[in-house]
Amino acid sequence: MKNYEKQIQALLSKMTPEEKIGQLQQCGPSLVGAFDVSFDELLNMMFDGRITKEEFDRLMGTAEQDFHEDDLRAGKIGSYNGIGDSATANRLQKIAVEETRLGIPLLFGYDVIHGFRTVTPIPLAESCAWEPALWEKTGRVAAKEATAAGVHLTFAPMVDVAKDARWGRVSEGAGEDVLLNGDYGAAKVKGFQGDDLAKEDAMAACLKHFAAYGAGEAGRDYNRVDLSMQRLWEEYMPSYKACIDAGARAIMPAFNDINGVPCTVNSWLLRDILREKWGFNGLVISDSNAIAECVSHGIAKDKRDAAKQALLAGMDMDMSSNSYVECLKELVESGEVPEHVLDGAAADVLRVKFELGLFDNPYQTNEERESLCLLTEEARSIAREAAVKSMVLLKNENQILPLKSDARIGIFGSLAADKGQMTGAWAIGARPEDCVSIVEACEARGVSYQYSEDGKDMLKIAASSDVLVAAVGEMKEESGEAASRADITLSREHLALVRDLLATGKPVVVVLFNGRPLAIPELAKHAPAILEAWHLGVEAGPAILEVLFGDVNPSGKLTTTFPAATGQCPMYYAHINTGRPGGKSKFTSKYLDAPVEPVYPFGYGLSYTTFAYGDLKAEKKEDAVRVSVSVSNTGERDGEEIVQCYVQDVAAKRVRPVRQLKGYEKVFLKAGETKEAVFTIPLEELSYYDWDMNKVDCEGILRIYVGGDSRAELMEEITL
Ligand code: BGC
């Protein structure tokens, strides 16, 4: 990366403290209209029933956006969040470049989480493809579209390891495993940033939420995090580090505290680790309003105190809380915050603006480019590919699937036709009309189908159908931010619909739409076929039909465990054994009213063919363990298998997980074909932290398991 330090210092020397503080300010447009409360309060009023949805919509109809242009002209704004159209972005950029004293360009940030206009599967779904090349490709699509709409920086990837299915934001990351989250995040960073950040179609990645946001107590959003240092470093930190190593230029500290200190004001995290140990010199942006919220945390006595602590801790940019613009000037003047600390923060903002090429070319797009780049055929076909690869076939009794091309289908459930629901959480650039539902896809494909949203005419439809499809699961509002659930079972209505369909005696295929693992023991027992479709984005309908009709052979594998009951959460494969591993006898670690095993384990997923494993070999070679295994397609159809390699350190200085994923590879096998899969695991990746936080080598017996899911039985032992 080109070095801009001279230009940065030259610019800083011309800037007043107010102008430097201005660079640290990120705000969004405010909504103003025929209401005299803030937009947030208006939303609350609708949610708690003080106004009806209709009244809310009527008031919103009167709303206009206030972009705070006067503040912008005065050099008090360095960045905007949430502006996703090139005309507005360029209009504001012109003010920054032509009407402010120093003409410093603006930085536009946006939550491009899984596609901008061409919405691709939610990250949790896409992670089930176990395919870094795909993750990078969809990241590239997102960057091309978002930059065409004026975006310079995305608040993604989220690489928070998420072991608790109650947490709504499991939908935004790559599931419960730290290796997968790191690989997923690194691939996204490459996709978003491309090979040169200064190119017009490259956007900076802001990885988040640093650190351990996914470890919130009881899966409740924004909740406290209390972790041993060993756990933090082994199970959470590596995925953030992988993104930094991949070159991410921005990072967002998490809302939560870690062991009592909120990440927003945690100088150990933001200075000692991030900058000193990891060498990061990019931009640190607070989460929304997080600086001011340090008062509620009980770590700052007021906003001024919070601003002081955050800046000193290494927080460069204030998203939405106005703490810096309101308080920093006085804090610098009084000497409570040294000016060189302010300079350091402003330098981090300017560095990323230089790297993005904004000083040379502040207008990186225009309306023409925008109109050409959004929702192209190429983008749609990549979204379709991602959707197909994200689905996980959970059950397929008596080979109900794939369906015959002339099968007559009865389709039930609102999710089969509700286009707006296909996007899932966090898709703010999405338009419902861009999405294709199952019902529309049936129409386009000429499938013989009948559809009933609410189960009306069920018996009549069933009588004239060969197979019934139930589209059930979660609405998109039921996962994502601020969407934790205390009960992760299927809703009563959806369960009743499936029961009624099963009672007709016709074969039933359940298609699940959801943003988190669901506890579905009853479905797993009684429904003959279950396809996990998650929230797949604009191409949901056609992609689902491709799998149901067998145009493609499903290959996705779960990146998150499906518990049998909510009370088992957090439930994850890489747990430790305890002295009394759960088993048949009473005095073992388990619940009286739930099974020991999950309904579907991590790594699990079926295919329309079958695979067999054999000839597992493992040996130590210099500084790595080399593992090889043969994988055969023993069925009648070509297919892809995601081969997984797990290890267990049998006796160590600290208790170690029963299994840890150390390698995976997607292998294509023609029917009857056999191939060898090879994994090289550096010894460094087997090391761990002892009681005193020293990194120690894995010694003694290492068990290596290879297979098609985390319960793989094929095992080889070696001694290190
Ligand atoms: C979320 C972030 C997001 C930010 C900006 C916050 O509430 O926690 O993940 O990037 O809003 O929209």
How confident is the model over 282-327, as pLDDT tens digits? 999 999 999 999 999 999 999 999 999 999 999 999 999 999 999 9
Closest by CA position to 686, among listed 717, 656, 644, 643: 656
How confident is the model over 465-513, as pLDDT tens digits? 999 999 999 999 999 999 999 999 999 999 999 999 999 999 999 999 9
**Residue 251: what pLDDT?**
99
Is pLDDT above 90 for 42?
A: no
Q: How far apart are CA 405 and CA 374, in angstroms?
A: 33
State whether the beta carbon of 367 lies less than 6 angstroms from ligand 1.
no
Closest by CA position to 308, among listed 255, 258, 260, 267: 267
**Residue 44: what pLDDT?**
85
Are 118 and 145 in contact by the 8 Å Cβ rule? The answer is: yes
Q: How confident is the model at residue 18 (pLDDT cuts 50, 70, 90)?
A: very high
Query: What is the identity of the amino acid at 647?
Result: V
Nearest atom in ligand 1 to 155's CA:
10
Q: How far apart are CA 95 and CA 103, in angstroms?
A: 8
How confident is the model over 631-660, as pLDDT tens digits? 999 999 999 999 999 999 999 999 999 999
The yes-or-no answer on residue 57 being catalytic is no
Is pLDDT above 90 for 37?
A: no
Closest by CA position to 159, among listed 130, 120, 119, 127: 127
Closest by CA position to 436, among listed 383, 373, 510: 383
Main-chain phi, psi angles of 417, to 5 degrees: -125, -10
Q: How confident is the model at residue 12 (pLDDT cuts 50, 70, 90)?
A: very high
Mean pLDDT rounded to a whole number for the chain: 97
Is pLDDT above 90 for 48?
A: no
Specify the 3-state DSSP secondary structure of 490.
Answer: coil
Nearest CA to ligand 1 atom 5: 288
What phi-psi label fits residue 66: left (phi over 0), alpha (psi between -120 and 50 degrees) or beta?
Answer: beta
Q: How far apart are CA 296 and CA 489, in angstroms?
A: 33
Nearest CA to ligand 1 atom 8: 287
State whether the beta carbon of 192 lies less than 6 angstroms from ligand 1.
no
| Cis check: omega of the bond before 297, within 30 degrees of 0 | no
State whether the beta carbon of 111 lies less than 6 angstroms from ligand 1.
yes
Average pLDDT over residues 389-409: 97
Is pLDDT above 90 for 429?
A: no
Q: How confident is the model at residue 46 (pLDDT cuts 50, 70, 90)?
A: confident
> Ligand 1 centroid to 319 CA: how many Å?
9
How confident is the model over 491-503, as pLDDT tens digits? 999 999 999 999 9
Specify the 3-state DSSP secondary structure of 35.
Answer: strand
State whether the beta carbon of 160 lies less than 6 angstroms from ligand 1.
no
Nearest atom in ligand 1 to 156's CA:
10
How confident is the model over 53-100, as pLDDT tens digits? 889 888 888 888 999 999 999 999 999 999 999 999 999 999 999 999
Q: How far apart are CA 178 and CA 573, in angstroms?
A: 12
Average pLDDT over residues 237-264: 98
Q: How far apart are CA 75 and CA 96, in angstroms?
A: 8
State whether the beta carbon of 221 lies less than 6 angstroms from ligand 1.
no
Q: How far apart are CA 304 and CA 313, in angstroms?
A: 14
Q: How confident is the model at residue 589 (pLDDT cuts 50, 70, 90)?
A: very high
**Residue 455: what pLDDT?**
92
Average pLDDT over residues 203-219: 98
> Ligand 1 centroid to 575 CA: how many Å?
30
Average pLDDT over residues 218-236: 98
What the block records as the tokens of 656 is: 């170690």
State whether the beta carbon of 288 lies less than 6 angstroms from ligand 1.
yes
Are 102 and 19 in contact by the 8 Å Cβ rule? The answer is: yes
Task: Tell me which of 43, 288, 289 to substitute to probe ligand 1's pocket, judged by most ligand atoms within 8 Å of the beta carbon.
Answer: 288
How confident is the model over 578-587, as pLDDT tens digits? 999 999 999 9
Nearest atom in ligand 1 to 208's CA:
9
Q: How confident is the model at residue 363 (pLDDT cuts 50, 70, 90)?
A: very high
Is pLDDT above 80 for 554?
A: yes
Say which of 160, 177, 287, 348 is annotated catalytic. Answer: 287
Q: How confident is the model at residue 47 (pLDDT cuts 50, 70, 90)?
A: confident
**Residue carrying structure tokens 């996962």:** 479
State whether the beta carbon of 434 lies less than 6 angstroms from ligand 1.
no
Q: How confident is the model at residue 31 (pLDDT cuts 50, 70, 90)?
A: confident
State whether the beta carbon of 155 lies less than 6 angstroms from ligand 1.
yes
Average pLDDT over residues 258-267: 97
Name the helix (H) or strand (E) containing 469: strand 467-473
Task: Tell me which of 40, 155, 222 to substitute to probe ligand 1's pocket, judged by most ligand atoms within 8 Å of the beta carbon.
Answer: 155
Q: How confident is the model at residue 420 (pLDDT cuts 50, 70, 90)?
A: very high
Q: How far apart are CA 251 and CA 156, in angstroms?
A: 9
Nearest CA to ligand 1 atom 12: 111
Task: Tell me which of 111, 159, 208, 213 to substitute to probe ligand 1's pocket, judged by most ligand atoms within 8 Å of the beta carbon.
Answer: 111
Nearest CA to ligand 1 atom 10: 155
**Residue 59: what pLDDT?**
86
